[in-house]
Amino acid sequence: MEVSKELNINKKTSVFRIIRNNYVNYRYWRKNWFCMNMMALTAPKTIFKGMFKYTWLYDLLKSNIMVDLYTNKRSGPNYDKVHMHLSFTIKSFSDMYKNALKNPDKVVIIQNMVPPQILHAMGLTSVVPEVAAVVLPKIDQFAGVRYLDAAESKGLPGDTCGLPRLTAGIALKKEVPIGSCIISSNLPCDGGLASYEVIQESIGNIPIYRLNVPYDFRNDESIDTYVEDLKGMIEFLEKNTDGKMNWDKLREVCRNYNKMVEIELERWELAKAEVPPVSNDALWFPHYFAFNVAVANKRLVKHHSKLLKMDKKAYKKGKICFEGMRYRTVMWNPPPSVYGHIWNWLERCWGVGSVMDLETYGVMEYVDTSTPDTMLKGLGRAYMWATMSKHTRGPAENMIGDLLRAVEEYKPDFVIYPAHMGCKNSMSLEALMKEECKKRKVPFCVFRYDLVDSRVTTRQQMREQINKFMIDVMKAEPLDSSLLTIDDTGEGHW
């Protein structure tokens, strides 16, 4: 009797959940379409013309399919947060491209590790070419192939990291929006640095300023050198654009940035909880977006506050981030762009939640807003410690030390290391990381992949490596064995 009652309640709960999730899905689906349509309607001529020139704009129109892949059948607080964040990102990218196509004279092409806050304070708009390279494979695993092939056919080596190669391919096909000049840097690695040679040449040899971050960037002298470099960049922008530095405006942006830091640190603390209310892409994606490519404006602060509010609400109620979470992990390398929704599979197939990851973990400091120099120092430090570069550059201690600190603080059942074959920096440290984890009795799951090209390692090949680890090392049973093998490899499987 008791059992049948319980079954009835579970059935009602799951029916209620399906109806609720479908409603949430519909609401965001409508919102995303509305924002993509608004991009076209507010600048119909520009967008129409742009679609002939920038063919990746068509791929962006498939964004709702990407949202489905990320959210399909997921549960708990992560489900709502991932929906909310994807929607926010779609709107932000639509606005970025709309502004860039409408006001090309205000556009500066910047690499994704250049502080956009400074450009914003100068009244300039930025376009980050890497955004398309990161987002396209997430939307459709084959959307980046034409650019990768274009880069290789021009002689760029195929065994280097696909991210800068794909970005260079977009430039070679003349599909980077027009800008008045370029700001690049030597981050995150030599591949990123080298790609801007090709990008500058492909988009008409417009003036370029190259920021030069010292190799060993985690010491005080390095930041002073970088501040001088940032001053040189401001001078260059004042000479090559009609932008003028407005320090009060920069102060306002830095204050917003500080609010973001405060929110982010609270989110990190909540992820440490025994019953974590947040994990996986509900933690990784908002950080990646906010602290790499976005300007810290009021809208971004509001969005991040909402995410934190949702985390806190779930925490107070003792609600775990997704139903069936059985393992906490730390993901220590970039998740595959070409399998952007791997989080969905990890949750539903194995009950795995990443409570901290390499691209999120690192320095989170407040910017001192008292003088122009202190602001540049604060922003400089934040961007020298940008995603990937903060671990894949400099001495090995940067990668290993932070991993061990993350293990200590977040107490994972195992570490998952996505071994990106194009990233020689991190690959060279694989054995050492494994060894250090072994000493601490923390299993180390390695799966090999290529960041942006699923022709190198298919999604199923990635899953098989993780399946093997979960079965052989963790002695786990899948939550849903129908997800061990998924047919999503060939053409037609976005």
Q: Does 422 bind ligand SF4 (CB under 6 A)?
A: yes
Measured from the CB atom, is 87 or 392 closer to ligand SF4? Answer: 392
Whole-angstrom CA distances from 315 to 236, 311, 330, 399, 457 are 48, 6, 20, 31, 38
Rounded CA-CA distance 81/75 in Å is: 11
Q: Does 334 bind ligand SF4 (CB under 6 A)?
A: yes
Applying CB under 6 A, among 76, 192, 276, 394 the residue interacting with ligand SF4 is 192
309 Cβ contact list (under 8 Å, min separation 6): none
For residues 229-258, which are near ligand SF4 according to CB under 6 A?
none
Measured from the CB atom, is 180 or 425 closer to ligand SF4? Answer: 425
Applying CB under 6 A, among 111, 112, 425, 454 the residue interacting with ligand SF4 is 425
Asked whether 252 and 369 are in contact (CB, 8 A), the reply is no
Smallest gap from residue 490 Cβ to ligand SF4 (A): 26
Q: Is 47 helix (H, G, I), strand (E, B) or coil?
A: helix
Smallest gap from residue 148 Cβ to ligand SF4 (A): 13
Q: Does 188 bind ligand SF4 (CB under 6 A)?
A: yes
Q: Is 289 helix (H, G, I), strand (E, B) or coil?
A: helix
52 Cβ contact list (under 8 Å, min separation 6): none
Listed ranges 17-25, 188-196, 254-262, 407-415: which one lies at the site for ligand SF4 (CB under 6 A)? 188-196
- Report the greatest alpha carbon distance in the chain: 80
Smallest gap from residue 256 Cβ to ligand SF4 (A): 27
Site string for ligand SF4, 134-173 (x = CB under 6 A): ---------------------------x-xx---------
For residues 451-490, which are near ligand SF4 according to CB under 6 A?
451
Rounded CA-CA distance 348/400 in Å is: 30
Smallest gap from residue 272 Cβ to ligand SF4 (A): 26
Strand order in the sheet with 107-110: 125-127, 107-110, 181-185, 208-211
Whole-angstrom CA distances from 238 to 180, 196, 234 are 12, 21, 6
Rounded CA-CA distance 444/428 in Å is: 16
Site string for ligand SF4, 342-371 (x = CB under 6 A): ------------------------------
Smallest gap from residue 318 Cβ to ligand SF4 (A): 37
Residues that bind ligand SF4 (CB under 6 A): 161, 163-164, 188-189, 191-192, 334, 388, 392, 420, 422-423, 425, 451
